[in-house]
Amino acid sequence: MSRAAVVCGLGAWVPPTVVTNHDLAERLDTTDEWIRTRTGIARRHVIERGQATSDLAVEAGRRALASASDNGTDDDHEVDLVVLATSTPDRPCPGTAPTVAARLGLGAVAAFDVQAVCTGFVYALATAAAMLSAGTARRALVIGADTFSTILDPEDRTTRAIFGDGAGAVVLRSGQAHEPGALLGFDLGSDGTGEDLITVRAGGSRQRSTAEQVHAADHFFTMAGRAVFTQAVLNMSKSAQTLIDRVGWSESGVDRVVAHQANVRILRAVGEQLGLADEQMVIHLDRVGNTVAGSIPLALADAVTAGDLRPGQRVLLTGFGGGLTWGSTALIWPDLTLPAPHAPTLRKEQA
């Protein structure tokens, strides 16, 4: 029987500080109405000064580990791999995953970052799944965490309206492809000719950090919104369809799509391309915005908590982001509980 990576734990976290559309409208030339109608977002969460991505990653990771031990059928709960998807690491060097592993008390495990912006979580899942299948690791903690509030231009009304901070995580164990929770396959892709569409120009080896660049605001995140919109719909739809065909779900259908939460209009357009009803597209961005690598696991945690994602459903995950990059995976949703304390801000009824 073929070996596969099986999802056995899930956790998520957003920082407590909320920024509503009305808060933004007090400081920038925007309105609640514009943001809601153009993006579907009503609020987002941000970290406070002094906090960093690892703080969110640790909270989400801790919850995913607790979920895995609550749901586990075996005694072996020892994680031997941490993969952190982020494009806002605590520091440009070193990676943040070893810090997260140490703070979670996981010992001398393998730990590294994956940088694929909003597709990061899917790339991190693929990386960890391959390592489990190869026998390089037996149990992995895969986290998506970002704090884009730290790289946005405070004066940019468009990006400030969209992005929020947050983290989500899953635990993967080595198991069999027929088990609920098994990741059934991947489709991954990139197009580096689009590197300028979603970027932070300065602070890398091409444009080093200098006072002039800080003055020119080149260390802030920029996005060519309209072009990215078109590419997001095109590539998530194509990648999702490729994966559906690959795992043989074309006939029997998909129950839920958890797509990268960039814009509600993008989610609806992807659903339309795939011939799915709006209710089949999981939507979480209204309360947290675009949380980059945290977006897919945060949406998963919210849907499970709300009872919208149930054991036995066919779930497709698809992401798109800077690079450009995109990727999809699929699984039959396993019977998972999310142990308390769960991030209270994720619950629909409290939004």
Name the one range near ligand UT7 by CB under 6 A: 49-57, 125-133, 176-184, 261-269: 261-269
Return phi, psi of residue 316, to 5°.
-115, 130
Note if 21 is an active site residue: no
- For residue 138 the two structure tokens come to 């037996």
Stretch that binds ligand UT7, among 6-14, 67-75, 175-183, 260-268 (CB under 6 A): 260-268
Minimum separation from the CB atom of position 323 to ligand UT7 (A): 10
Residue of 38, 138, 201, 246 that binds ligand UT7 (CB under 6 A): 38
Stretch that binds ligand UT7, among 125-133, 158-166, 176-184, 330-338 (CB under 6 A): 158-166
Residue 190 or 337 with smaller CB distance to ligand UT7: 190
Asked if 41 and 332 count as a contact pair (C-beta separation under 8 A), the reply is no
Give, as ranges, the residues between 281 and 340 that touch ligand UT7 (CB under 6 A): 290, 320-321
Nearer to ligand UT7, 157 or 246 (CB): 157
The 64-103 site mask, x for binding ligand UT7 (CB under 6 A), equals ----------------------------------------
First and final C-alpha spacing in the chain: 44
The whole-angstrom separation of Cα 173 and Cα 150 is 33
Take residue 207 and report the two structure tokens written for it: 């444009």
236 versus 315: smaller Cβ distance to ligand UT7:
236
Look up residue 329 and give its two tokens: 């995976």
List all residues 6 or more positions away from 232 whose beta carbon is below 8 Å from its beta carbon: 260, 262, 263, 266, 320
Q: CB nearer to ligand UT7: give 71 or 263.
A: 263
The span from the CA of 315 to the CA of 58, in Å, is: 26
Could you tell me the two tokens for 325? 């990059």
Sheet of 139-146, strand order: 3-13, 166-176, 139-146, 81-85, 110-114
Residue ranges binding ligand UT7 (CB under 6 A): 30, 34-35, 38-39, 118, 157-158, 161-162, 198, 225-226, 228-229, 232, 262-263, 266, 290, 320-321
Active centre residues (catalytic):
118, 260, 290
